[in-house]
Amino acid sequence: MTGENFAATGQLLGTVVAVQANFYRVQLDREDGEIREMREMREQDPPHLPYPPDLFLLCTRRTRLKKIGQQVMVGDRVVVEPDWAGGRGAIAEVLPRQSELDRPAIANVNQILLVFAVADPPLEPYQLSRFLIKAESTGLDVLLCLNKSDLISSPEQQQVSDRLLGWGYQPIFISVKDGINTDQAAKYLSNKITVIAGPSGVGKSSLINTLIDSLELRVGEVSGKLARGRHTTRHIELFELPSGGLLADTPGFNQPDMDCIPEELIHYFPEARKRLAVASCRFSDCLHRDEPECAVRGDWERYEHYLEFLDAAIAHQTQLHQQADPESTMKLKSKSKGKGQSQYEPKLESKKYRRISRKTQLQDLQELYRDEE
């Protein structure tokens, strides 16, 4: 159903751009017939119309949606019943989602924009791979921007580019500070919902400020000790781009967890997918470590990264199985930090090894004295 059809029933179409508590900020579609009509009327006689000029309505969710357990996420396309007198609205329906992310919780995302710096802080291949694997696991298109390109020479830039091409990525070198190639990056975001992610201190907020002139996000200072920025984003919100797209920042997205299924991990490496496209492993459940006749195992650069991520993914799955199985004889001893693998140790049988409390000991002594008397 188009916006014109909804307008005939007094309903409007829009996109949820922010969620806070039980309220939803909805950006209404500009092409809606009723929107155009009311904007024209406002231009003729502005003081007498309560309709918000910026096309946003603060909405609640209809009780019917609560009863059926229908959640409303940032990015959802929704049908809104406006209350012009009160300047508010109510979400009456959530349209089917084209995609859905859990962390961050956003619907209908088209692509993920990863932002890293080539210097200050220096580009770290292991950390970059970790973010790329997390992005690839969503099944969405991945766009890689490398900021602060003004801090390296052209030969160094070419070297980084060639290396990442070997991984299967064509990076865009930008400099927010000097305005280099930021317009090129903006073209890839036109008319799409894009999630921007990356470590702190690489210029994400500065890039968003550049892409959206009217927005002034707080930019955190970079800690000299840790070479990391202080993350200043507080909640998920979609920001409108001049090109017509929407951009979402991702609060708390500092170090992605390796929570994917071990058997699926290899497919998140473009260079490995290329090998599997021309040959197949002998075993269908091959983990590409020491299995015979493996089509993936080899001398490609990120193979060592793959093995480390695989250990982390297996450890994560083992932990999940143990949490689901109270009969398990193993427990987590120490959680993995960085590149290491989590360690497990046998559980102690609680009754057999539990220390007797002092109160119980006193009670036993009292009973013993009574028996002796």
Identify the CATH number of the domain in which residue 172 sits: 3.40.50.300
Question: Is position 232 within any domain?
Answer: yes
Same domain, 142 and 168: yes
Say yes or no: 90 and 119 in one domain.
Answer: no
Asked whether the CA dihedral 51, 56, 58, 62 is positive or negative, the reply is: positive
Q: Is residue 325 part of a domain?
A: yes
| Same domain as 113, residue 78 | no
Helix (H) or strand (E) holding 65, with range, is helix 63-67
Helix (H) or strand (E) holding 196: strand 193-197
Three-point CA angle 162, 168, 174, nearest 5°: 60
Q: Are residues 92 and 111 in the same domain?
A: no
Ordered per-residue pLDDT tens for the chain, 373 residues: 454 555 455 789 999 999 988 899 999 987 655 555 555 555 555 545 444 545 889 999 999 998 999 999 999 999 999 987 777 899 999 999 999 988 788 999 999 999 999 999 999 999 999 999 999 999 999 999 999 999 999 999 999 999 999 999 999 999 999 999 999 999 999 999 999 999 888 998 899 999 987 555 544 444 343 344 444 445 788 998 988 899 987 664 556 677 889 999 999 999 999 999 999 999 999 999 999 999 999 889 999 999 999 999 999 888 888 877 655 555 555 554 444 455 555 555 444 445 566 677 667 666 666 655 5
Identify the three-state secondary structure at position 149.
helix
**176 three-class SS:** coil
Q: Quick one: 228 and 138 in the same domain?
A: yes
In a domain, 331, yes or no: yes
Contact 239, 246 (CB under 8 A): yes
Model confidence over 167-199: pLDDT tens digits? 999 999 999 999 999 999 999 999 999 999 998
Q: With beta carbons less than 8 A apart as the criterion, state whether 80 and 89 touch.
A: yes
Is residue 369 in some structural domain?
no
Identify the pLDDT of residue 243. 81
Count Cβ neighbours within 10 Å for each residue of 148-184 and write b for 16 or more, e otherwise. Answer: bbeebeeeeeeebbeebeebbbebbbbbbeeebbbee
- Within-domain flag for 360: no
Same domain, yes or no: 113 and 175: yes
Distance separating alpha carbons of residues 184 and 211, to the nearest angstrom: 11
Domain residue limits at 317: 262-336+344-352
**Helices and strands: H and E segment counts in the chain:** 11, 17
Q: At what angle do helices 303-324 and 125-136 cross, to 10 degrees?
A: 60
Supply the CATH number for residue 275's domain.
Answer: 1.10.40.50
β-strand 246-248 against 193-197: which pairing, if any?
parallel
Question: What angle is formed at CA 179 by the lines to CA 174 and CA 181, rounded to 5 degrees?
Answer: 40
Quick one: pLDDT at residue 272? 96
For residues 228 and 200, is the Cβ–Cβ distance under 8 A?
yes
* Cβ pair 195, 248 in contact under 8 A: yes
With a CB cutoff of 8 Å and minimum separation 6, the contacts of 6 are: 12, 13, 32, 79
Whether residue 207 is found in the same domain as residue 179: yes
Q: What is the CATH number of the domain that holds 70?
A: 2.40.50.140
Which pair of tokens denotes residue 267? 């497919």
Tell me, yes or no, whether 257 lies in a domain: no
Last residue of a domain, one of 224, 248, 272: 248
Residues ≥6 apart with Cβ < 8 Å to 259: 313, 316
Give a yes or no: residue 371 inside a domain.
no
Domain boundary among 96, 122, 148: 96
Please write the tens of the pLDDT for every residue from 283-333: 999 999 999 999 999 889 999 999 999 999 999 888 888 877 655 555 555
The answer on 145 and 129 residing in a single domain is: yes
Q: Distance between CA atoms of 224 and 98, rounded to whole angstroms? A: 42
Task: List b or e across 64-98, with b for residues whose CB sees 16 or more CB atoms inside 10 angstroms.
Answer: ebeeeeeebbbbbbbbbbbeeeeebbbbbbbeeee
Residues 106, 211 within the same domain: yes
- State whether 211 and 309 are in the same domain: no
> Does some domain include residue 358?
no
Pairing between β-strand 172-173 and β-strand 141-147 as defined by DSSP bridges: parallel
Based on the domain organization, do 42 and 88 belong to the same domain? yes
Is 317 found in the same domain as 242? Answer: no
In three-state secondary structure terms, 56 is strand
The number of distinct structural domains making up the chain is 3
Which of 64, 96, 128 is the C-terminal boundary of a domain? 96
